Amino acid sequence: MSKFPNNIFGIVQDDLAAVEKELYSIIQSPVDLVNDISVHLVQAGGKRLRPALYLLCARGATPNQSELLPLAVAIELIHMATLVHDDVIDNAATRRGSPTANARWGNHSSVLTGDYLFAKAFSAVTAGADNHMLRILTDVICTMCEGEIIQLKESFNPEQDEADYRLRVAQKTAEFIAASCELGALSGRMEHSEVVQLREYGYSIGMAFQITDDILDITASAEQIGKPVGNDLRQGIVTLPVIYALKNSPDHAELRQIVVNQVMSDEDVKRGLEIVHGTDAIEYSYAQVHKYLQHARNSLPVTLNSPVRQSLLAVADFVGLRKY
Amino acid sequence: MSKFPNNIFGIVQDDLAAVEKELYSIIQSPVDLVNDISVHLVQAGGKRLRPALYLLCARGATPNQSELLPLAVAIELIHMATLVHDDVIDNAATRRGSPTANARWGNHSSVLTGDYLFAKAFSAVTAGADNHMLRILTDVICTMCEGEIIQLKESFNPEQDEADYRLRVAQKTAEFIAASCELGALSGRMEHSEVVQLREYGYSIGMAFQITDDILDITASAEQIGKPVGNDLRQGIVTLPVIYALKNSPDHAELRQIVVNQVMSDEDVKRGLEIVHGTDAIEYSYAQVHKYLQHARNSLPVTLNSPVRQSLLAVADFVGLRKY
């Protein structure tokens, strides 16, 4: 997936560089294998969207960097821990075009390294969060686990409607991005109403972000997204475009047969995607993305200082534009 | 495995009942499947050794129960989370005679439920621990993960000596029991020297406990320990009796061939155990257990109040006596 253009996060660029440095420092282990896997995960990179949003929201009130680093680092470590466990669960071979930890070191070491990163995250957080903030963070991990378990339970089930999908996306993705923004606003000691608005902004960005991911799984090339096209369909994850096509395609019965098939051939996946493309599922899904982004923009507190506001608006624009 | 006789934990019996109640309350999830798995894990029970030791050490200075509950609950939740992930890693079918969560609900849901329990543990802990205590807890989780990863890496490797084994047992088991006692002493606001001594007590109990487990895997019947005999050998986990026999048996070359075999037949396992039994590996291993227990007894601070001291001595006696 494409990285965010540097200038979007310009005003927290130095903070993000410090987060990067701290990530390498905190994961150091006397056990070589733990080091190797953790460094691989940090190097695999990613957008650092969550700590960036945390920092942007906190910088509204410009507290000093050292106060913000622990939570920014903890947020990214939790994200990394959930990714490495998700890859185990999805049997994913690649992420962002690189081999996953589970493909390279096996599922078992990956489960343990995920646990290690969770513990490191909570170790980091002791320095930078009060009880209320720690509670937000632990609650959102529980929510993500619940979302992933629901996704597992509902895999290959064509009887899911859009409301089920939205709830799942909220639990899996949007709630954590919402919490990142909320925690940033709390670290920035903002007013309660501003905290609530920035949380709402993060939630809507998260929804838009995940729906876009789900669209790209169907429309982008394998080279662009760094994993096989139609991966979700093959894994039984029923996403918005598929739900739309199951309801609106003349070939809905055939698509349903494909969705319930737990051992799909490449041909099945290809035909499934064809049926989705035969409807206006993609247009419909993008329209939902744009609704969430508009809501995100409208949620920004009017009291935000201008550079922070501009950056948060630019994040919304970028989520709407990315094509891979 | 046998439960500890009730009277051992008599002076914290009420506290343990409150822990049990709180465990059920904290794991409640709006997602049925998460509830089902978590309740199964709480019901599967176990000895509650770690929270019991935490409470006993804290009760030396009798602070009130409500102050101690959060950390006692967090300690048991962390233990449960590591067990459910260990069972995934070991592909275990049964634990304490009941089907494991992974056998019943699959590896994927089990990984996620483990994460859920970790998060719930940290959520609980916010109410009852200062930064120093939280740090002890997160560090020990990292240590356990490192120990498990080393165990994975060294599985089916006959070139391990006793020092490797002791380090691994310390990381996997003893450090967490040490931390439970240390945290108890800290909650009980004891003197620094007492905290150090109770930590040492816990460490030695932990070493004795794990070595006993490793002996019982070889000597007890499947009915007694609730999992197949020789399970460690089959999984490639090289324990103290095997290390001893690899060094001292006339059939050491044959045993070595069995240990490196990654797909052992029942016959291989049986023959491996026979070779171990042909030496005084079990006697030697029990002698190590008793050395650790004696060290545990000697580590108890002289300043401890008498009922607490008696209970901690009784725990040491019981660890030395249990036969399954």
The predicted pLDDT at position B1 comes to 45
Q: How far apart are CA B125 and CA B74, in angstroms?
A: 6
E strand map for chain A: 94-95, 98-99
Q: Which residues of A touch B127 (CB under 8 A)?
A: 131
Facing residues of A99 across strands? A94
- Vertex B202, ends B199 and B186: CA angle to 5°? 40
CB-CB neighbours of A61 under 10 Å: 16
Out of A34, A119, A153, name the one closest to residue B138 (CB): A119
Q: Which residues of B touch A88 (CB under 8 A)?
A: 108, 111
Q: How far apart are CA A112 and CA B85, in angstroms?
A: 8
Q: How far apart are CA B93 and CA B227, in angstroms?
A: 8
pLDDT of residue A6 exceeding 80: no
The predicted pLDDT at position B115 comes to 93
Contact assignment for A141 to B88 by CB distance below 8 Å: no
Q: How far apart are CA B141 and CA A249, in angstroms?
A: 50
Over the stretch A158-208, which tens digit does the pLDDT of each residue have? Answer: 999 999 999 999 999 999 999 999 999 999 999 999 999 999 999 999 999
A153 touches B at CB < 8 Å: yes
Q: Which residues of A touch B149 (CB under 8 A)?
A: 31, 33-34, 109, 112-113, 116
Among the ranges given (A48-62, A296-310, B239-253), the one the predictor scored with the smallest mean pLDDT: A48-62
Contact assignment for B116 to A146 by CB distance below 8 Å: yes
CATH number of A10-128: 1.10.600.10
Asked if A24 and A35 count as a contact pair (C-beta separation under 8 A), the reply is: no
Using 50, 70 and 90 to split pLDDT, how confident is the model at A1?
very low
Using 50, 70 and 90 to split pLDDT, how confident is the model at A302?
very high
The predicted pLDDT at position B201 comes to 98
Examine domains A10-128 and A146-304 and report if their fold is the same. Answer: yes
The predicted pLDDT at position A10 comes to 82
Contact assignment for A112 to B153 by CB distance below 8 Å: no
CATH says A146-304 is which class?
A: mainly alpha
B123 touches A at CB < 8 Å: yes
pLDDT of residue A101 exceeding 70: yes
Q: How far apart are CA A179 and CA B295, in angstroms?
A: 48
Out of B112, B118, B134, name the one closest to residue A115 (CB): B118
Contact assignment for A138 to B126 by CB distance below 8 Å: yes
What ipTM score was computed for the predicted complex, to two decimals?
0.87
Q: Which two tokens stand for residue B69?
A: 């509950």
pLDDT of residue A71 exceeding 80: yes
CA closest to B34 among chain A residues: A146
Q: What Rg value do the Cα atoms of chain A yield, rounded?
A: 20
Contacting B residues, span 175-234, partner chain A, CB-CB under 8 Å: none
Q: How many Å lie between the alpha carbon of B293 and the closest alpha carbon of chain A?
A: 29
Q: How many Å lie between the alpha carbon of A71 and the closest alpha carbon of chain B?
A: 14
Contact assignment for A112 to B141 by CB distance below 8 Å: no
* pLDDT profile of chain B (324 residues), mean per 10: 67 91 92 88 86 91 83 96 86 76 82 92 83 91 92 92 96 97 95 97 97 92 69 93 97 96 92 96 96 98 92 92 70
The predicted pLDDT at position A224 comes to 66
Residue A30: φ, ψ to 5°: -65, -15
Please report, for chain B, the start and end positions of each structural domain, with discontinuous segments joined by +.
11-128, 131-316
Contact assignment for B145 to A113 by CB distance below 8 Å: yes
CB-CB neighbours of B64 under 10 Å: 7
Q: Which ranges constitute the DSSP H helices of B27-174?
A: 32-43, 49-58, 65-89, 101-105, 107-125, 131-153, 162-169
- Vertex B142, ends B136 and B143: CA angle to 5°? 85
- Vertex A246, ends A241 and A251: CA angle to 5°? 115
The domain B131-316 is placed in CATH, from the list 3.40.1160.10, 1.10.600.10, 1.10.357.10, 3.40.710.10, at: 1.10.600.10
The domain B11-128 is placed in CATH, from the list 3.40.50.12500, 3.40.50.2300, 3.40.640.10, 1.10.600.10, at: 1.10.600.10
A33 touches B at CB < 8 Å: yes
The predicted pLDDT at position B192 comes to 96
B36 touches A at CB < 8 Å: no
Q: For A284-302, what is the mean pLDDT?
A: 97
Contact assignment for A131 to B127 by CB distance below 8 Å: yes
